[in-house]
Structure 1
Amino acid sequence: MNRRKRIVVGVSGASGVIYGVRLLEMLRELDIESHLVMTRSAHMTLAYESDWRPADVQALAHKHYPNADIGAAISSGSFPVDGMIVAPCSMKTLAEIATGNTGSLLSRAADVMLKERRRVVLMVRETPLHLGHLRNMTAVTEIGAIVYPPVPAFYARPDSLASMIDHTLGRVLDLFDIDTGTVKRWTGQFEVNVASLANAGLTTA
């Protein structure tokens, strides 16, 4: 099928809504078609954590759907997409996907991706984790999803919050064979601050 790459983006109510917003920006910059669904809680978190309005975020996507629209295109396995990213993924959303309790479009879309054996990445956001959270993570992994907590990579020496976010999302998109150009890739060698090593009682030898 000759079409451009197409990714479904789910944004739930967990803290870290900037991951979903920046992901949509990056997909637009890469000319990748994005289909967005946001939960009601995500709208609330957006207001708490940013100056973005829901309409502004929706405008970043090529197509957006109400979370109550169970009949939307992305709720069917016959609608061709390359996968789905939930950024961020709340524990409620994780539980719905893990148990197949798909009462909303977001969880239904993820369920469809999994049954069609398409890639689903869940950027789960919560800490500390209790056993129920861990069991749900195990369950979604067993049915084919990838659990990807947005943990920053400090070896990349990030100089800003924005660069940390871009590196994390770049690694998420690596899972879809999409190179954003925002990942500082490990090569086995890196510049060592000799003075810092000396202060730590270490040596480069």
Structure 2
Amino acid sequence: MKLLEQYSVDSVFLDKPWKKITYKDIEKLSGKKSRSYIYRSLERLQKESIIKKEEVGKSLLYSLNLTSLNTKLYMGFLEEYKSMSSKHVPLSLVSNLSNLAFKVTPFFILLITGSYARNKQTSKSDLDVVIICDDKVDPKSILAELKLESELSIPPVHLFVFRKKKVLDMLSSDKENYGKEFVRNHLLFRGGSSYFDILWEAINHGFNG
């Protein structure tokens, strides 16, 4: 986790990427007390067009600039790095699932959600896996390819496969649903920039967490 410690201010924007946050939020989430360190980090992120700053009343609010490709690539990388640094996740199993999905399509997003994403798993917990694929791909073909590995693995895998459009529909809905749940609580292992593409589109359609 050395990279995330080095860029602790950058990482606070992973918590709720759709949210505008204050300096106090950043100080609390980053655990940094040095004002100069925090402001230098914020200036760097603004210079690289990764975040935006706006004045609202007497407050300054900071948010991700999700119109920028640089933002999607960088934040996607940070999310994947954070996930791959997790000690409690069976990474070899995640890698096997990713390799099997790749046989069907090279373009997909792979997330872990549920108890493993919260680091609250027990010996009886399943590994909840979400794969998001292109709209042209049949989710059943990915489910079929991963079926045997999911059933025989330890821990057992509870697999969900959604097309991109289905995820956007869930995030755009006024009702609570599984899509909103896994966006709020997940570890991202593949397809970081594509994930932030979806998130940006969902935010444009009213998603706010």
What is the TM-score with the length of structure 1 in the denominator? 0.29
* Structure with higher helix content: 2
Higher relative contact order (CA 8 A, sep 6+): 2
What is the TM-score with the length of structure 2 in the denominator? 0.29
